[in-house]
Chain A
């Protein structure tokens, strides 16, 4: 049982490039979500999913796409990276009140 696995751990992108942050969980959790964390801002919800085939926007969805084709995977796509997307990204999944976070992806956009 690996919990929530995020890849890559670190990434540097050039402005305008696209990429996908991967998130996978092996706990059969229905609910998964993506957060970004910026200094002094706390964690902010980007997108979430309550089950396979169902996604919705969070607080800061612009510039990001998600899909949920399986219960296990919830990738986050940056369509055209911008310096404002430099952040630490956390994926989380839950069953009941128990949230489990991945170890994060540190993204720098130059």
Chain B
């Protein structure tokens, strides 16, 4: 079983749609959780951190359920510019291990006019 699993998609949605991505992780010792965005052939960029209390940044809402080892990302009112691959990322390990990033394989989103 992969340490971090995502639905690879692609998700094809019209502008203005609401889309939800799900992610599960296998290591209960995971410490930090993130969503990254990756545009075609470019480097990943941090979209938002994910907390148990949930967090919202404009049209984006992220949730963490530690008991179920589940992370979600909700995008409301999708824009063409939201088209990208969304990477679910967790870290675990002590300070000596540097908090290694473990990536899911990514979920591709395509927003159409």
Contact = CB atoms under 8 A, between A and B. Distances in A.
B43 A102 contact: yes
Contacts of A44: 103
Interface residues of A, number: 26
Interface stretch (B13-21, B44-52, B59-67, B70-78): B44-52
Contacts of A58: 100
Interface string B93-113: 001111111111110000000
B1 interface: no
B100 A97 contact: no
B97 A50 contact: yes
A98 B44 CA distance: 12
A107 B59 CA distance: 36
A13 interface: no
Contact of A48 (B8, B45, B98): B98
Contacts of A94: 98-99
B103 A42 contact: yes
Interface string A61-105: 000000000000000000000000000101010100111011110
A40 interface: yes
A19 interface: no
Contacts of B41: 88, 104, 106
Interface of B: 4, 8, 32, 34, 41-46, 49, 87, 91, 95-106
